[in-house]
Structure 1
Amino acid sequence: MKSFKSEGNGIPILFISGLFAGDWIWGDVTSYFSKTEYTIIRLREPLSAYGHKISELREMLIQFLNEFIEDKAIVIGNSLGGLLAMDLASSIPKKVAAIVVSCAPGMGSTNLGIGSPKMGSKEESKKWFGDLREKLFVNQQCVTDEQLDLVSEFFSDRRRFLNMIRLAKEADKYDAKLILPKIKCPILLLWGDQDEVSPIEHWKSSIPLNPQIQLKVIENSGHSPMMEKPKEFWKSVESFIKNVLVHHT
């Protein structure tokens, strides 16, 4: 499928980013993975490019897994992508070996504290996303001005902008506590300790809901630890994957 890019030859790992950023958020993390041990699969665009309902995104990803994954994939998602990883593990367990959920919504409403985005000029859009960068990251410099321009340009398209608004509202109402007990595969919750959008404290209460849940917190990082602390993120993910393979082969 044209929406995905793939490299490597091994155990398939599907990386799903969130509403605002494309596959570039995974660049530093995936550079650590051996391309002979793993097949790295990434969605090219932010989720807002592919639909305005979580159910639409789910069906697109299910279609991909059914058509292109022979056995099972490991699914790793950040923010709304993490919510979709949980959704896939529950909806199509025959295709999901394990999931890594990073900084997902689903434990109550979120408040960015910068107001809602408004369709306007590119300058206004860039200002809003600049404010968002300050909210999402401890280290502001891990997102470049060029990447900020990419995001602003992406959401200058009205359809994508409206998709973002509708998906954000739906994610805000999603109750992860209802879906977590239904998941049968191993689950790693991998969080930045300073995530202000979806604080880890809200998720700690979910651990008793499923004996498969493991929790790992990455220090000095916010809502996207795969960008701020890519090596620590990779080490946590690979350790989790190795453990999964030992116990499920």
Structure 2
Amino acid sequence: MTQLGLPDDILACLFDLDGVVTKTAVVHAAAWKETFDAFLRERDGEDFRPFDATADYAEYVDGRPRADGVRTFLAARGIELPEGHPDDPPDAATVHGLGNRKNRLLLAKIRTEGVEPYEGTLRYVEAVRAHGLRTAIVSSSANTVDVLHSIDAEHLFDVRIDGVVAAARRLPGKPHPDTFLAAARDLGVPPARAAVFEDALAGMEAGRGGHFGYVVGIDRVGRSDALYAHGADVVVTDLAELGGKE
């Protein structure tokens, strides 16, 4: 399957959303920074150390379900908060409260700034489907349906495993492989014959942990070495580099 840059035995392609299909990773990072900086500034006062929207985002938050991102980053700072409840208000000093504050900021940014797709990815997905491969979108985001609708890309994916589906099925999020495994299962394809497309380190680990046939890292921010170290078989800056043209 040299036209697609994939091994010949691959039957399905599983795509992350933010940073792979859409240019929303930077919006997520900005929303996380605003959320964590406000919390840390109030908590730590003069000892305030801001959230790094590049390094901290990549290491602790990117690709993880929202509540896991809160827990992982705060644990790195030696902070533990009560779990709270999924419907906690955004001003609650709980894991879910901080997560909901971030989501409110994210949705406001998406409404004002809009969502743009990576055109190279859309062309690649269309080429994959033209070659008879099945496709799935696999994202920790609970806003996946709205985002895909906003770029008119719902029809490009046979299966959707997102934050809403994962919660309903009680699937642990990335770096656990369960959401990708569920997508492969819903497509009727063994993991060894499915390719994972991710930009997050947690996504690389999920692809490696699930023993998928091929793991493609998309390097949007200059961290190809880290993507390889966390499980990528190949790293590209845009999926157009893999091919997809007749």
Normalising by structure 1, report the TM-score: 0.32
Higher-Rg structure is 2
Which one scores higher on RCO, CA 8 angstroms, separation ≥ 6?
A: 2
